Amino acid sequence: MAQWTDVLIFIMKTNDAFAMTLGLIFNSLLLYTIWRLRKTYRGNYSKLFLISAVFDWVLSWEELLIQHDLHVKNRVMYVMGHGIEHLLPHDTFPIFMLPHAFFTIHGVFILAVQYRYRYIVMTDSTASGRHLAKDLAISISCGIIVACGLCYGTHQSQSIPWHVWRNNIKDDWIGEYGVEDFVYASDLRFSGTKIYFALGLTFSTITLSLVAYYAYKAWKFVNPENTVSSRTRHLQQQFTRTLIVQTCNAFCFSMFPITMNVCLVLFRPPGDLYYSAFVMPLISWLPAANGFMTLHVVKEFRRFVLNMFTCGQLKRLGKISSYNFHGTTSGHGSTHLKNSQTNRHHVI
């Protein structure tokens, strides 16, 4: 058992650093790609790609700096951190819970913004970015309100001496790692933590309802063939694929761990001491999954990145393949075709 827990603790220690480093790499690459292809993806669709990439890029930096792990016991969330918090006084710790709680929950809230704006763009290609800015401001405000609840709950927990919280977990399987890296706790007995769970569940339910509503509206909406250019249809298809992938990522790497954490705190299932160690590290992989899958799903993004890393070899291979298929893409191919037609004329 000791060896098994050592492996689990090692994964917890290295998970954030590894996942967030990949998230930074993929989303930095995605932002660079969006900038380089800004003439191809102009207007509303570039904004949709951009807000997701910026959010995941900032989330990667924030999580890389604080690197939180969670241990749930007796309806208390014990937070272990191996980031910059150990360099700061204890009374500043709740401040770092604010960005962590915000980015964790806003990864769900932003889906409603994307789905609604996608529907607006589909129904009105001349729509301005004001709709997106307004909805984004609302989702950010909701995320901050929810995060403030957990921040206040963490502040309330400091009324109990820090060493008392730490001693509560010193005999658990998390052992020495928990004692050394423990930074603060958030207890469900305090009003701030209750507000966090109540508002988080309420806003998440509203978000999922909006996602389902606008997904259905977009599915029902069909543009007539004579009013939608092939270029617009292509952009719609590319972003729709990306949005579906990011929705799946949000469910796997955000909503599922958060839901499990809520169940652990509220219902205390048997063996709850271990569940959080298995599910909460998944949150760290959301930026990397979003960045990588967007680069992979969007055809132009994928080709640009592959050309960049192959020094243009893919583009040259594409030209060769085009010549082999059509037979007339190069000057030599055209000359060869003309000569063959002339020879056939003389034979006749």
Dump pLDDT digits (tens) for 13-23.
888 889 999 99
State which CATH number among 3.30.420.40, 1.20.1070.10, 1.10.3720.10, 3.40.50.300 fits the domain covering 2-309: 1.20.1070.10
Grouping H, G, I as helix, E, B as strand and the rest as coil, residue 45 is: helix
pLDDT bracket for residue 345 (50, 70, 90) = very low
Percent of the chain beyond pLDDT 70? 83
For 185, phi then psi, to 5°, come to -125, 160
* CA gap 219, 180 in Å, rounded: 52
Give Cβ neighbours of residue 175 (< 8 Å, ≥ 6 apart): 5, 9
Contact 139, 107 (CB under 8 A): no
Q: Is the pLDDT of residue 175 over 90?
A: no
Question: What are the structural domain ranges in the chain?
Answer: 2-309, 319-348
Q: What is the pLDDT of residue 341?
A: 46
Q: Is the pLDDT of residue 306 over 60?
A: yes
Which of 178-187, 218-227, 273-282 has the highest average model confidence (pLDDT)? 178-187
Q: Is the pLDDT of residue 285 over 70?
A: yes
Place of tokens 């380089």: 36
Strand ranges for 118-198 from DSSP E:
182-187
* CA gap 30, 327 in Å, rounded: 35
Contact 9, 174 (CB under 8 A): yes
From the list 283, 252, 285, 218, the residue with the least C-alpha distance to 48 is: 218
Chain length of the chain: 348
pTM for the full model? 0.81
Which of 106-115, 171-180, 307-316 has the highest average model confidence (pLDDT)? 106-115
15, 239, 278 from 11: Cα distances, Å: 6, 34, 10
Q: What is the pLDDT of residue 343?
A: 46
